[in-house]
Chain A
């Protein structure tokens, strides 16, 4: 179901978690041709850019663009060979950060770029946006923050208590994950790296890594693998969303919500620990196997935990929905309009709160997910993001219940065969973590070794959404706006 292309160039259309030969990816040396196709695809409403990166092979730099089409459940992949040290900007807002990353990694100079700043390089002379007006003052927050959170520098330009502009400097957490993925040769090391990219999304990232790796190896996952992974993903979603709801209540100083949601999160993460030995779900998912069998006893336990959880969760959420004191803090705070969200390519929960129907579980099904409806809100404020969380938790409980009803017992086989990835291949995996869409891309060399691993965190797009959300808000409302997105620093910085 390819759209009619006006450009001369035709993209390669692949499915989620599909492996293709690298040579199949069309490439051009004519930038205008490449740019025309990008613009043509990005103009389609159901299309958004999931990854845009550069791959250096034999001193030739190849830019690869991956655009997902939600209607046809396909990902359009195509490339451009750059023979210069200058990169002309596509001038598409949603590709801005990708271009900054490419320019930074390969020391290219960006031409006609609207925001040509470093992406992961922190420095004292970072070119912050400045306003010389005398009535305007700057507030710098971070990189060290009050509380146990990651480092990042926030520069507010304020007029009195009102934020006119926020600029965020990230990069303090850069660990070179993508490079380590290539350097570390053991599969267990790679799997461990994948789940450590952002520990709050350990499960969804290891599911994506396992999916990409198995796809490269031509391995078809057995039923019990799919069941266990889907369950782990949804448990992670419930746990983190509930923790975030607790933190949102904490930031508006609503102690009851803070305490109740905080208490509700504990049995869920404790259950994850009981299953796989780690409360964040690390080691729950590994390529080719289910390291920790999900037994009948665990199924029974989970049913009991969920029944108790759901009752209190629904009651607390109902109370918040009707409580003026909390609503007055959440409503009309930190608004991201649908137009803004679309322009910056917002993904996941934050995108859905701004009216963007974008859920990889539905549009590019993987594991046991099926096409269907997902919760969408249109106000784009903190309350919309809070409601999305409440509704997604309830939906996830439903998904887990239906999994438990048809759980495939006694299908565990620990057949450990040696699989190795195909040579000169390209595989792309999209997963919908609790925060949103994560994109994993793997490219192998002629010997079947990993040559490039690219990871894109949902925060990569959504940090811009936070910058937009706080404009014209009170500076005292920044923490609640920030918490409503709960973006990842290390996922962005890699």
Chain B
């Protein structure tokens, strides 16, 4: 319960922190911390416009997407404390419930029948598919390290602070997870959320036809997703009493958001053909982690 509540709280400010970091780096005054929330609130007050070509799938997709992200967030633990639910193999459930949401977004994009959205859907599915091996290699390494197959048990059994190798592996895995989070959340250097050019975007072009309330749902799901990955990363470092653990959680979330913001300020997006190469290199790094643990 605590974990889920903290994720929701973090989700409220995560996007705001990214935007703030970017505007500070650009020397601009920039919007306030809660501007993303205000945007969503504004969208929730609006009606939704549906194209005549769309079917029930298009109306269903935003709800399924948000539900899938919330369900996934519910199984993220908080240190040794379980999430809303926990069972053996829940990390597989975590990955595929997210995939289900994404699947609905993709078929909804195809449902609208515009040439842009088909393009976005194909890009989004390609990059998520490529990122999947890296995610499972990391989770596989964790279960190998701990000998357990549920999130809660994994994080309560592993003490990353125990030795220098454990800490090293933990940090590498945390960085890899952050990069996967950036791919899954369609941020730089894979995707550019700031541009309004339909030909270059990935995620944004996929949801081009969604408007009003539905768009609000998709945006909120995006915010929760950030915080959820942040919480997963925080689990690597959480130790000690509850106040200390919450402090570490907040710090990790802040570091993740600032890292994303700084990356987006000081580098350009990859050329799209280079994206698979980048994602494969994450898989390669995850393999190195796995082999290190096997030999250990």
Interface residues of A (CB under 8 A from B): 137-141, 146-147, 161, 249-256, 258-259, 263, 323, 325-326, 328-329, 333, 474-479
Contact of B199 with A by CB under 8 A: yes
CB distance from B23 to the nearest CB of A (A): 9
Q: Which of B84-102 contact A (CB under 8 A)?
A: none
* A253 to B192 CA separation, bound complex (whole angstroms): 6
* A122 to B266 CA separation, bound complex (whole angstroms): 42
The 4 closest A-B pairs by CB, nearest first: A259-B26, A253-B192, A253-B269, A254-B268
Q: Are A137 and B115 in contact (CB under 8 A)?
A: yes
Apart from A255-B22, A325-B189, list 5 A-B contacts with CB within 8 A: A140-B115, A254-B267, A255-B26, A256-B26, A479-B200
Interface of A is mostly: helix
Contact of B209 with A by CB under 8 A: no
Q: Are A253 and B119 in contact (CB under 8 A)?
A: no
List the B residue with the shortest CB-CB distance to A160. B122
Q: Are B265 and A161 in contact (CB under 8 A)?
A: no
B199 partner residues in chain A, CB cutoff 8 A: 139, 141, 475-476, 478-479
A255 partner residues in chain B, CB cutoff 8 A: 22, 25-26, 194, 264-266
Q: Are B26 and A329 in contact (CB under 8 A)?
A: no
Q: Are B267 and A251 in contact (CB under 8 A)?
A: no
CB distance from B117 to the nearest CB of A (A): 11
Q: Are B267 and A477 in contact (CB under 8 A)?
A: no
Q: Are A139 and B119 in contact (CB under 8 A)?
A: yes
B189 partner residues in chain A, CB cutoff 8 A: 325
Per-position binary interface string of chain B over residues 106-130, scored 1 when its CB falls under 8 Å from any chain A CB and 0 otherwise: 0000000001100100000000000
A476 partner residues in chain B, CB cutoff 8 A: 199-200, 272
* A328 to B272 CA separation, bound complex (whole angstroms): 11
Please list 22 pairs of residues, one from A and one from B, whose beta carbons are closer than 8 Å in the complex, sorted by A's number.
A139-B115, A139-B199, A141-B198, A146-B197, A253-B269, A254-B268, A255-B25, A255-B194, A256-B26, A256-B265, A256-B266, A259-B27, A259-B28, A263-B27, A328-B270, A329-B268, A333-B271, A475-B119, A476-B199, A478-B199, A479-B195, A479-B197
Q: Are B267 and A325 in contact (CB under 8 A)?
A: yes
Q: Are A250 and B195 in contact (CB under 8 A)?
A: yes
The number of chain B residues touching the other chain, given as a range, is: 20 to 34
List the B residue with the shortest CB-CB distance to A263. B27
Contact of B52 with A by CB under 8 A: no
> Among B192, B197, B264, B268, which residue has the most Cβ atoms of chain A within 10 A?
B268
Q: Are B273 and A253 in contact (CB under 8 A)?
A: no
B272 partner residues in chain A, CB cutoff 8 A: 161, 474, 476-477
List the A residue with the shortest CB-CB distance to B196. A146
* A252 to B119 CA separation, bound complex (whole angstroms): 19
* A308 to B264 CA separation, bound complex (whole angstroms): 27
List the A residue with the shortest CB-CB distance to B116. A139
* A333 to B270 CA separation, bound complex (whole angstroms): 13
CB distance from B87 to the nearest CB of A (A): 41
B267 partner residues in chain A, CB cutoff 8 A: 254, 325
CB distance from A297 to the nearest CB of B (A): 29
Contact of B289 with A by CB under 8 A: no
B115 partner residues in chain A, CB cutoff 8 A: 137-140
Query: Do A251 and B27 contact each other (CB < 8 Å), given the known contacts A161-B272, A256-B265, A474-B272?
Result: no
Contact of B274 with A by CB under 8 A: yes
Q: Are A329 and B269 in contact (CB under 8 A)?
A: yes
* A41 to B285 CA separation, bound complex (whole angstroms): 63
Q: Which of B29-71 contact A (CB under 8 A)?
A: none
Q: Which of B119, B188, B200 contacts A251 (CB 8 A)?
A: B200
B28 partner residues in chain A, CB cutoff 8 A: 259
CB distance from A331 to the nearest CB of B (A): 10
Q: Are A252 and B269 in contact (CB under 8 A)?
A: yes
B271 partner residues in chain A, CB cutoff 8 A: 328-329, 333, 474, 477
List the A residue with the shortest CB-CB distance to B126. A161
* A250 to B188 CA separation, bound complex (whole angstroms): 13
* A140 to B119 CA separation, bound complex (whole angstroms): 12
* A256 to B22 CA separation, bound complex (whole angstroms): 9
Query: Do A326 and B198 contact each other (CB < 8 Å), given the known contacts A137-B115, A259-B26, A475-B119?
Result: no
CB distance from B9 to the nearest CB of A (A): 28
* A478 to B116 CA separation, bound complex (whole angstroms): 14
CB distance from B64 to the nearest CB of A (A): 27
Q: Are A474 and B266 in contact (CB under 8 A)?
A: no
* A70 to B262 CA separation, bound complex (whole angstroms): 50
Query: Do A253 and B197 contact each other (CB < 8 Å), given the known contacts A137-B115, A259-B28, A474-B271?
Result: no
A138 partner residues in chain B, CB cutoff 8 A: 115
* A147 to B197 CA separation, bound complex (whole angstroms): 8
B274 partner residues in chain A, CB cutoff 8 A: 328
List the B residue with the shortest CB-CB distance to A475. B199
CB distance from A90 to the nearest CB of B (A): 35
* A141 to B205 CA separation, bound complex (whole angstroms): 13
Q: Are A147 and B196 in contact (CB under 8 A)?
A: yes
